[in-house]
Amino acid sequence: MLNGINSAENPDRMKKSHFLCFLLSMIYLHMSGGGFQLFYHGQRQTGMGNAGTGLALDGSSIFFNPGSLVFNRSNSVQLGTNAIFTNTSFLENPNSIYQANMDTLLFTPIHFYTVWQGKKKVQERKWSFGLGINNPFLGGSKWQDDWNGKFISQELAINTFFMQPTASYKLTQQIGLGVGFSLGFLSFLSRRAIEVDGQGGRVGSVRLSGTGNGLGLNAGLFIQANERLSLGLSYRTPIFVNLKKGSVRFDVPESLRDVFPDTQFNTDITLPGTLNIGIGYRPDEKWTLAFDINFTGWQTYDSLIFDFAIPIKQLQKHPEEKAYQKSASFRMGGEYEVSPKFKFRAGAYFDQSPVPDGFVSPELPDANRIGLSAGLGLNFAPNLEIDLSYLFEYTGERTSFLSQSQFGGTYRSGTNVYGLGIRYNF
């Protein structure tokens, strides 16, 4: 009955839905994460609002909390992916009626974890080892080439691949410690129009692309306080990535080839560190609850300065200042074991934007986000589990003016995330 809210013929329903939308947006706006950090690193967690630092669920401990790895029940191999669809709309202001929609973006981060801890039971085990591969930072935008903000951004894509060999040690029966070395790989692509006009209304553009590597640590502490309560604390260090000799390519009219030669750029990006605090609680055999708080040190992304091998005037004007700030996210979720073969999960979160007013850019429009999720766990065979998740993330309307570029408006985004994971225990 609530599904008819899109029907324009029913004004009453429209009003109700407006009111609900208004309520929802008021909730987001009054809470004060985000950025291009990604939280989809395990289907069970995604089903529970991406909470799980305080639990020892499976191989995803490698990412969420290496300290809990040694509390995993068995050796395992798992593979998962999420399909993230993001829609963003934009309304220019002031004194404009211009609207634009970003192309629907599809991101497909993957995660792979394998855990090896011998054949000993949990109680007798001291060590556990694992390897994780995932995409902890991922983001981007793609607007129509001729849109109004084309001189700021037409396209941006930041992707990362992290490989993390991890060891976890059980200090006592209650306390586990773990540490992993993160080997990070980052790729960057940005494209925007430049002030050069060609025949037939063609505007020139410049495309920057490059890659870089970085190293970091992921350390965690896990405490199984009693049968019901567990606590987790993990810290992932900031990772400094130096992009060297990235390529600069111009699309300009033929007569200007000499003016805009192919060249190279260097830049640095420091991926932020995160501090994660989690609580796990099992009120009974069937229920598992998780509460997480993540603090992300986004202040490391204060600027993005490109150093070009050949200085070209049109390249210098890109807004360099990013001014990201520390942000936090709050997550909660639960899993209910309906039967040994069937688990149901649900969760919700609030993720605070690291982007201050005056710096919201169409490159990576950002606002506080709220997410709701649901998931299913299916045990077809004793050692095989398939996990499904669905998550919807809503970004409240945000109006901001990017002063460096004299461009502003209202942005709003919605994201659908569909996840599939498979795990084999041995």
User: Is residue 97 involved in binding other proteins (CB under 8 A)?
Assistant: yes
Distance between CA atoms of residues 54 and 290, nearest Å = 7
DSSP state of 321: B
Among the residue ranges 47-55, 69-77, 105-113, 188-196, the one whose residues contact other proteins (CB under 8 A): 188-196
Encoded one letter per residue, x for contact with other proteins by CB under 8 A and - for no contact, window 294-323 reads: -------------------x---x-x----
Amino acid identity of residue 343, one-letter, is K
User: Is residue 263 involved in binding other proteins (CB under 8 A)?
Assistant: no
Smallest distance, Å, CB 9 to other proteins?
A: 14
In this structure, how many other beta carbons lie within 10 angstroms of the beta carbon of residue 403? Answer: 13
Distance between CA atoms of residues 69 and 238, nearest Å = 22
Smallest distance, Å, CB 90 to other proteins?
A: 8
Size of the site for other proteins (CB under 8 A): 68
Among the residue ranges 97-105, 131-139, 175-183, 320-328, the one whose residues contact other proteins (CB under 8 A): 97-105
Report the chain's C-alpha Rg in angstroms.
Answer: 23
28 contact partners, CB below 8 Å, separation of at least 6: 350, 367, 368, 369, 370, 394, 396
User: Is residue 152 involved in binding other proteins (CB under 8 A)?
Assistant: yes
Smallest distance, Å, CB 305 to other proteins?
A: 17
Core vs surface per residue 367-393: b (16+ CB within 10 A) or e: bbbbbebbbbbebeeeeebbbbbbbeb
User: According to CB under 8 A, which one of 9, 254, 284, 285 is a site residue for other proteins?
Assistant: 254
Which is closer to other proteins, CB of 57 or CB of 193?
193
Between the alpha carbon of residue 66 and those of residues 33, 131, 306, 351, the distances in Å are 20, 11, 35, 23
Among the residue ranges 56-64, 266-274, 387-395, 418-426, the one whose residues contact other proteins (CB under 8 A): 387-395
Amino acid identity of residue 314, one-letter, is Q
User: Is residue 338 involved in binding other proteins (CB under 8 A)?
Assistant: yes
In this structure, how many other beta carbons lie within 10 angstroms of the beta carbon of residue 47? Answer: 30
DSSP string, 252-278: --GGGTTTS--EEEEEEEEEPPEEEEE
Which is closer to other proteins, CB of 232 or CB of 334?
334
DSSP state of 37: B
Smallest distance, Å, CB 327 to other proteins?
A: 22
- List interacting residues with other proteins (CB under 8 A): 1-3, 5-6, 17-18, 20-21, 24-25, 87, 89-99, 146, 148-152, 192-193, 195-199, 201, 203, 252-256, 258-259, 286, 313, 317, 319, 336, 338-339, 344, 346, 372, 374, 390, 392, 394, 397, 404-407, 410, 412, 414, 416
